Every structure is written in structure tokens, then in C-alpha cells.
């Protein structure tokens, strides 16, 4: 596969809330969070698509019992090239002890200003010593997806976070390509993160099982069908 290297993707976000900032307030037995960064590792940090526009944010309301609900919008659709997306979720998260916990939940993806059909995703996983491992199943309008993911941020030294995702996509209708048909494919990504002098640095490698003319059938999580190495730098205004 050909490899593309993107060495410049600097995001200086202009939201009313700072990138990387989450505002938190206790309301009796409830905990309310508002921010421009997803506040849930499993429901929002690993399963949903990454933010696609400069304006994004959401809220999260959790109870001491372990139940939570929330909404996250990765794109407010304020520019011609983006669409409004609203991801509503609910779930249950509970620790077994100080080193082990579990989480299950459901996400509903909606696009109020577009003709795109809504979709749902079930997810679940374990938290072990600060690291997260899980799986998700979703029913997009044109395909069925099965995802495995891991976030090793809790066990990596030197302040470096490592996360990975692997997804298989089963198309509802095979897509015609130059050499035949594509009925299924897989894609994956690996992200290495580290803060540096107030800047969040992310090095992301992504790839898929498709190549060449077969890439016309690609509709996965990655921004490109072929292998892609991206360096992303983000700095909050405040």
C-alpha cells in the first residue's frame, strides 16, 4: 500500500469552552460535566468518531449508583463542509475494586440536518489498573461494524498514552470494484499521545485491508483507506 505522511494538522479550536477543558458541578447525588472534550473514556473517547469541526462539545450526567446519560456533538455543522451530528448515550459503570471495573452502554447517532439515517451502537468493556479494554457492535445504515479497542494510558511510563482500535465492517450490499466485489473489510489505528509544554501531541497511524481500486468501497473510521501517518498538535486558548 502507498503511504501518505501528514506532518501538519494544528488545531487551534475557537469554541466558547476551551479544548481539553471540562467544567464539573455536583448536583446532589448527580455529577454534571460540560466541555469541549469527551468526558467518558469508553462511551466518548474510544467508540465515537473523533471531532470533525472546530465547534464541538457535550454534557454528561452521572449518578452515584453508576448510571449515566449524556450527549456529545463531534461537529456543530457550522461550516459548509461539516454536518450537525448529535450522539446520545446511556450506560452503567461500576468498579469491582480499586483496580478492576466494568462498563456497558448504548449510543444513538443522529444527523438532524442531513438525510443520513440514524444508527445505534452497543459497547462494553473492562478497566484494569487505569487501562481500558472493550468491544462495540453497531448497525450503520449500510453496514454492520464490530470493534475492539484498548487504551493503555494507565500503565505507560513517561506520560505517554497509547490507544488502538480494530474494526471489521460487513457491508449490507457488496460494492462493485475494478476486480470484483467488496463485501467486507477491516481497518485499524494506533495513537501515541503526550502533552508537551501545554500542547497535546498525537501521532496516529491508520490503515485498512483495502488497497488500490478497492479503496472506492472504503467507508470506515479512518480518514483514508491507505496507510496514513498523522502528527496532530492542539493547544487550548485557556
| pLDDT over 60 at 82, yes or no | yes
| Average pLDDT, integer, range 164-176 | 93
Per-residue pLDDT, averaged over 149-164, amounts to 79
pLDDT greater than 70 at residue 191:
yes
Q: Is the pLDDT of residue 149 over 90?
A: no
Q: Per-residue b/e over 116-125, b at no fewer than 16 CB within 10 Å?
A: eeebebebbb
Report the residue count for the chain: 238
Find, among 179, 182, 174, 164, the residue nearest to 221 by Cα: 164
Number of H helices, E strands in the chain: 0, 15
Q: What pLDDT is recorded for position 155?
A: 63
- Give the angle 215-50-192 at the CA atoms, nearest 5°: 90
The whole-number pLDDT of residue 185 equals 96
H-type helices in the chain, by residue range?
A: none
Q: How confident is the model at residue 11 (pLDDT cuts 50, 70, 90)?
A: very low
Cβ atoms of 206 and 186 closer than 8 Å:
no
Q: Which of 4-18, 166-180, 182-196 has the lowest mean pLDDT?
A: 4-18
pTM of the model: 0.74
Q: How far is CA 155 from the centre of its chain?
A: 21
pLDDT in tens, 208-226: 999 988 999 998 888 889 9
Q: pLDDT at position 190, please?
A: 93
Of the candidates 173, 238, 234, the residue with the CA atom closest to the CA atom of residue 50: 234
Quote the percentage of the chain above a pLDDT of 90. 25
- Per-residue pLDDT at 229: 94
Burial of 75 (0-12, 13-18, 19+ CB in 10 A): buried
Amino acid at each position: 500500500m502507498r503511504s501518505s505522511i501528514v506532518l501538519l494538522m494544528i488545531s487551534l479550536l475557537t469554541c466558547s469552552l476551551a479544548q481539553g477543558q471540562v467544567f464539573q458541578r455536583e448536583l446532589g447525588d448527580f455529577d454534571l460535566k460540560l466541555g469541549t472534550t469527551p468526558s467518558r473514556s469508553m462511551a466518548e473517547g474510544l467508540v465515537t468518531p473523533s471531532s470533525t469541526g472546530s465547534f464541538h462539545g457535550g454534557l454528561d450526567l452521572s449518578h452515584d449508583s453508576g448510571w449515566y446519560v449524556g450527549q456529545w456533538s463531534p461537529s456543530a455543522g457550522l461550516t459548509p463542509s461539516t454536518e450537525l451530528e448529535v450522539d446520545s448515550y446511556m450506560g452503567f459503570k461500576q468498579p469491582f475494586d480499586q483496580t478492576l471495573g466494568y462498563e456497558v452502554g448504548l449510543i444513538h447517532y443522529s444527523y438532524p440536518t442531513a438525510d443520513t439515517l440514524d444508527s445505534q451502537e452497543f459497547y462494553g468493556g473492562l478497566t484494569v489498573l487505569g487501562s481500558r479494554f472493550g468491544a462495540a457492535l453497531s448497525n450503520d445504515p449500510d453496514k454492520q461494524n464490530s470493534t475492539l479497542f484498548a487504551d493503555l494510558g494507565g500503565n505507560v511510563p513517561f506520560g505517554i498514552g497509547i490507544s488502538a482500535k480494530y474494526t471489521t465492517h460487513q457491508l449490507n450490499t457488496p460494492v462493485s470494484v475494478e476486480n470484483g466485489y467488496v463485501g467486507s473489510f477491516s481497518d485499524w489505528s494506533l495513537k501515541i499521545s503526550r502533552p508537551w509544554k501545554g500542547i497535546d501531541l498525537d501521532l496516529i497511524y491508520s490503515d485498512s485491508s483495502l488497497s488500490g481500486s478497492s479503496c472506492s468501497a472504503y467507508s470506515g473510521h479512518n480518514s483514508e483507506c491507505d496507510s496514513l501517518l498523522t502528527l496532530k498538535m492542539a493547544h487550548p486558548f485557556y
